[in-house]
A and B are shown apart, each in its own frame.
Chain A
Amino acid sequence: MPTHKRTTTKPPAMSLQPRPWGFVGCFTAMASPCELLMQVDNKHIARQMLTLAYDEAQRIEQKFSRFIEGNIVWHMNHAQGKGLLIDPETVQLLQFAQQCYALSDKAFDISAGSLMVLWRFDGHHQMPHQSDIDAALRHMGFNRISLTNNILTMPAGMSVDFGGIGKEYAVDRTAQLLAQRWPQHSVLVNFGGDIACPITHKDGWQVGIENPHKLDNAAALLTIRQGALATSGNTRRYIDVAGKRYGHIINPQTGYPVEQAPLSVTVLAPNCVMAGMLATMSMLQGAQAETFLQQQGVDFTVFRG
């Protein structure tokens, strides 16, 4: 169990409701609605589970969000080329990111932070300037990060962003903590559509997959007994410029959004980090997203415009 302090500035905005099959708990973290479905008949245990999930989600958000000043990511992005001693958890996330960078042939790159900030999907119908994109591309490349003996050295001007892994990681960590502590209760952890269920549910949990054309209406229902699911998509985040829609999956080699990328990809896998990474990698394949996923031998759902 990780030890950590609860943030006292924000009171836990959690809600816990009974259901015929157990309890459902809700809170907001990582800018997403988070939900816990718990097959438990004891309200006290359900409350403990929800608190644990809330704490873990908060902890990971505080530690790895690039929007929070003074956390490890902020220190990494402000080290100005100097070596920085980092903790084992961050080392593991970086090593995972490094493996994804290699497996995706440099298409998945957490060091593309300075490129990502150029593409703001906030409703402004405006493209970044080419000169800014070129400047950002010069400050990227995970292969230029060195990590030896827990000392991280990043070129000055580079900035990393764990946004592509953080939420899925939080889901898996939370699911794992719950499963370790209550191995006899099935819980479905759902942080903004990224889902894990490590303990088998006898009848299976019903999970809806969003149709990007009709947001907030489930287009497909899936039954999950055990495993994880993650979605990558530009369903809610895109910009329209001169009739052309640019999605939020940016190709770090060109600096531009991937063309012919699906609207959304949902992948089923043993854990959420793996599902999320396969979904992201398939988006980066653009028109060949489905082919890629078929070759991986995983279950998936792809929506295209």
Chain B
Amino acid sequence: MTVIVSQLFTGVSIGAVLLLIALGLSLTFGQMGVINMAHGEFIMAGAYTVYVLQKVITGAGWSLLIALPIAFAVAGAMGVLLEFLLIRRLYARPLDTLLVTWGVSLILQQAARDIFGAPNVQTRAPDALTGNIRITDDLVLSNNRLFILALAALAVVALTVVLRFTSLGRRIRAVVQNRDLAAVSGIPTGRVDRLTFFIGSGLAGVAGVALTLLGPIGPTMGTNVIIDAFLVVVAGGIGHLKGSVIVAFALGTLQSLIEYSTTVSVAKVLVFVAIVAFLQWRPQGLFTLRTRSMA
């Protein structure tokens, strides 16, 4: 029994990481219909922000807390730059945007290699997050995973509040639902796009900070985690946060349970099969916006 519970906890914490990564991705995908392949490198930028900050600020706890807003700003700024320079010029060509952002991700990876060196680097985790919470003798929850879970929950709540209760959120929803109608209603869609990209990319930076707690950071860390996040977006559907939330946790749990009964490599294949099977049932993802466009 405790084995199952602890596997479930592992699954939920995998899901929390996935969710942090996928939140920003689904925001930008829903808004502009483009898959940003450089999202993984924005995660990397967030992680290296922690690394750089720890050179300046020695206290691991403070540096982590300060890193959160700074990583958000750094990754967000990179996202806005990408949107401004490339993505907005490619509106009618979503597939080409995917390839272009892949090129950007190659350049950013190599830049990280040149600046920080090719080998992975370590960051220090605060003492408060290195311990465990012992529920029973068999069931041990690690603090850093609990912290990531809390961070993901905070991100979901914050994003929900922004989308639902602010004027920016109202504008974002309007553009997602019907760009043309939003434009003729006087919403500056270009500016809304850039703000959306800032928030979405900034969330990638926050995810990068979280990933420093789980392992070493390196130039290719983005590519390793991004594919699963893409799958979350594809299976979750666009335009609704709850789709991403449900699918992220379902996928994390599924992966952890399959990994427990078989191996990591078999789990990857089975998760892929599960997603394809799921899309037979819901080809547009779990939740999707009702529109009159033909699908």
Decide if A and B are genuine partners. Answer: no
Name A residues whose Cβ lies closer than 8 Å to a Cβ of B. Answer: none
